[in-house]
Amino acid sequence: MRLIHAIACCLIASPALAAQTAPAPASAPAAAAPAVEKPVCRRVPITGSNMGKRECHTREEWRTLDKREDPAAARALQNRSLAIEGHKG
């Protein structure tokens, strides 16, 4: 008889305990945490190899890398065109 009484008490008390320990709404922590940016992968050529290397960065990191490399590439192309014109004359 005591066993039945104990089981009945547990069954009655479990929904009440579950309601008390319910977690906070998920929207509050999600709004506070910054969104994680998905990485973007590109195949980068390696000098002296037919196989490229795969690099993954966020979009912001790729923008920074592209801005840093653009002036150097422009200078190299400019120097190349000047060298070719010098050989013609």
Inform me whether the pLDDT recorded for 71 exceeds 90: no
- Model pTM score: 0.40
Average pLDDT over the chain reads 75
Rounded-to-integer distance, Cα 45 and Cα 73, Å? 14
Name the more confident of 32 and 52: 52
- 43-57 mean pLDDT: 91
For position 70, what pLDDT does the model report? Answer: 75
Name the more confident of 1 and 38: 38
Q: What digits encode the pLDDT tens for the residues 13-47?
A: 555 555 555 555 555 555 566 678 899 999 988 89
